[in-house]
């Protein structure tokens, strides 16, 4: 056996204590949903994990009412210090159950356990700790003395970072004094249900957090509910646009975190080995199913060949397979629909003249898989340079001068993220200044911190999550 054929090192699922059936969690009770229940399957095996309820309009209404009652009677009147105690308690329980949550997330989403263990779940706890600290310091978020919560927040989150996106939404909302109704994506509802258990464990008053499952219709009913004060959505630009239309003319506050087509710019003086790591991390982290993925590599022409050669060599060491194996780098694509979309777009990229390359790696027979892929010779006008693929596919473009790099990087309807690789500090600052992207990483990529605001320009959405700005989104100026 060759050394690099590492023996299987699977993380055990015995830590999980899952139910066969999950209901809606409304007002602190598990209640049946009015719609038809559905199964969530493990994307790596296509095996069903559990069934989940679908919330119909009546259930949505019940959830919003529960949240309103909790806001009026318990959570709204509670002191910031006491709210903070609950959030700190939740954060600690999340840490205590970290391994279980990491396994559940990997199972339900298909992402490698390495990522859920080292990135998703630690960040989830960090977010709650960070926001817990804000709960009694709201006078300092920049809205004047005694800022007020909006009331009931309706939150709809995507499937790519299920528990992390829940934390990004729930933690600041609760810290600011809002109550929430949250709907996880229909392909990844599992960790939200485990989060309900965490809230129970923490003794969180009934109705402060309500978790309802279902597909797009449930989400649409939730954001349209008249008694909702604030809507926060993370997901596709198309759905975000629908929500913005539906909310126009209402007093509801809205923040949207949508798609992206991030540029990762490599200058010829870049620290080359680290830039390669940054490119890999930027596009293959979470199988590229990341809204801020560095999916467009802009590489200076004079180092294009060297970068591509090293990148391919590095990609050949990526390990695709069982997400629960601790050595897996590339897990499964979340759903067959997503896999079909990736496949279609890459085929189109190839048809438009792109040169497609993937390392020689065997894809498991069962499940949804796509190999890490690089498409070179892509032009700014190519479909795969413009459309968000949301998969492990890197489009490679070239540039000659910093101005050209900036122009190409900005030439997209999106504006969520960008990366700059250069050893020259002055160049990094000058280029970062001109990039129209909500987050610009210099000599690194995909770094997240609860103290740092995250959000987009243009069609990538509006509003910020994280930092002072993230807290402001859940508050209004006091009287």
Catalogue the active-site residues: 257, 291
Spatial contact of 465 and 473, defined as CB atoms under 8 Å apart: yes
Near other proteins in 252-271, by CB under 8 A: 269-271
For 287, counting Cβ atoms within 10 Å of its Cβ (0-12 exposed, 13-18 middle, 19+ buried), the class is buried
- Selected from 215, 272, 380, 468, the binder of other proteins by CB under 8 A is 272
Nearer to other proteins (CB atom), residue 233 or residue 441: 441
* Least separation in angstroms between CB 218 and other proteins: 38
The first and second tokens of residue 288, run together, are 């590229």
For residues 458 and 5, what is the distance between their CA atoms, to the nearest angstrom?
A: 45
348 binds other proteins (CB under 8 A): no
Near other proteins in 412-431, by CB under 8 A: 423
- What string marks each residue from 141 to 160 as x (binds other proteins by CB under 8 A) or -? --------------------
* Least separation in angstroms between CB 141 and other proteins: 30
* Least separation in angstroms between CB 11 and other proteins: 9
The first and second tokens of residue 12, run together, are 């055990």
Spatial contact of 346 and 393, defined as CB atoms under 8 Å apart: yes
H/E element, 475: strand 475-476
* Least separation in angstroms between CB 200 and other proteins: 33
- Using CA atoms, how far residue 455 sits from 179, 256, 301, 328, 448, in Å, is 22, 8, 30, 29, 12
Closest Cα partner for 436 from 449, 455, 463, 450? 455
99 binds other proteins (CB under 8 A): no
Nearer to other proteins (CB atom), residue 114 or residue 253: 114
- SS3 string, 63-92, reads HHHHHHHHHHHHHCCCCHHHHHHHHHHHHH
* Least separation in angstroms between CB 359 and other proteins: 13
Nearer to other proteins (CB atom), residue 421 or residue 454: 421
Near other proteins in 78-97, by CB under 8 A: none
Spatial contact of 223 and 431, defined as CB atoms under 8 Å apart: no
**Total residues at interface with other proteins (CB under 8 A):** 26
- Selected from 219, 259, 278, 323, the binder of other proteins by CB under 8 A is 278
Nearer to other proteins (CB atom), residue 46 or residue 309: 309
Longest pairwise C-alpha distance within the chain: 71
Helix, strand or coil, per DSSP, at residue 266: strand
Q: Angle formed by the axes of helices 402-410 and 425-434, to 10°?
A: 30
For residues 347 and 383, what is the distance between their CA atoms, to the nearest angstrom?
A: 10
Near other proteins in 303-322, by CB under 8 A: 317
* Least separation in angstroms between CB 272 and other proteins: 4
- What string marks each residue from 326 to 345 as x (binds other proteins by CB under 8 A) or -? xx------------------
Near other proteins in 425-464, by CB under 8 A: 443-444
**Binding segment toward other proteins, per CB under 8 A, in 5-13, 159-167, 253-261, 462-470:** 5-13
**Contact residues for other proteins, defined by CB under 8 A:** 1-9, 114, 118, 269-275, 277-278, 317, 326-327, 423, 443-444
């Amino acid at each position: 056996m060759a050394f690099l054929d590492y023996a299987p090192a699977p993380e055990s699922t015995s830590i999980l204590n899952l139910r066969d059936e999950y209901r809606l969690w409304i007002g602190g009770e598990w209640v049946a949903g009015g719609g038809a229940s559905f199964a969530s399957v493990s994307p790596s095996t296509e095996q069903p994990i559990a069934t989940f309820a679908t919330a119909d309009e009546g259930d949505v209404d019940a959830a919003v009412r529960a949240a309103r009652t909790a806001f009026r009677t318990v959570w709204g009147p509670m002191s910031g210090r006491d709210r903070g105690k609950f959030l700190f308690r939740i954060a600690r329980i999340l840490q205590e159950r970290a391994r279980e949550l990491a396994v559940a997330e990997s199972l339900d989403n298909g992402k490698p356990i390495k990522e859920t263990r080292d990135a998703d779940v630690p960040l989830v706890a960090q977010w709650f700790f960070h926001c817990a600290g804000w709960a009694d310091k709201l006078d300092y978020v920049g809205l004047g003395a005694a800022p007020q919560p909006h009331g009931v927040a309706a939150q709809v989150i995507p499937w790519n970072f299920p528990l992390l996106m829940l934390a990004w939404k729930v933690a600041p909302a609760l810290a600011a004094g809002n109550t929430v109704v949250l709907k996880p994506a229909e392909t990844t509802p599992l960790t939200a249900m485990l989060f309900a258990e965490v809230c129970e464990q923490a003794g969180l008053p009934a109705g402060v957090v309500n978790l309802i499952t279902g597909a797009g219709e449930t989400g649409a009913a939730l954001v349209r509910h008249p008694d909702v004060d604030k809507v926060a959505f993370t997901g596709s630009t198309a759905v975000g646009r629908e929500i913005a239309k539906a909310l126009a003319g209402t007093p509801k506050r809205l923040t949207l975190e949508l798609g992206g087509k991030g540029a990762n710019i490599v200058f010829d003086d870049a620290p080359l080995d680290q830039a390669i790591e940054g490119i890999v991390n930027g596009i293959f982290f979470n199988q590229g199913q990341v809204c801020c993925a560095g999916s467009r590599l802009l590489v200076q022409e004079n180092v294009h060949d060297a970068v591509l050669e090293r990148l391919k060599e590095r990609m050949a060491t990526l390990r695709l397979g069982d997400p629960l194996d601790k050595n897996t780098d590339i897990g499964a694509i979340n759903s067959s629909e997503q896999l079909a979309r990736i496949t279609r777009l890459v085929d189109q990229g190839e048809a438009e003249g792109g040169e497609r390359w993937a390392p020689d790696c065997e894809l498991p027979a069962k499940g949804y898989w796509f190999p890490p892929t690089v498409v070179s010779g892509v032009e700014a006008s190519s479909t795969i340079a413009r459309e968000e693929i949301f998969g492990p596919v890197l489009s490679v473009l070239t540039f000659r001068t910093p101005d050209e790099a900036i122009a190409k990087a900005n030439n997209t309807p999106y504006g969520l993220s960008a990366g700059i690789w250069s050893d020259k500090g002055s160049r990094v600052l000058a280029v970062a200044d001109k990039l129209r992207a909500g987050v610009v990483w210099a000599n690194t990529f995909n770094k997240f911190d609860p103290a740092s605001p995250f959000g987009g320009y243009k069609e990538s959405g509006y509003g910020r999550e994280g930092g002072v700005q993230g807290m402001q989104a859940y508050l209004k100026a006091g009287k």
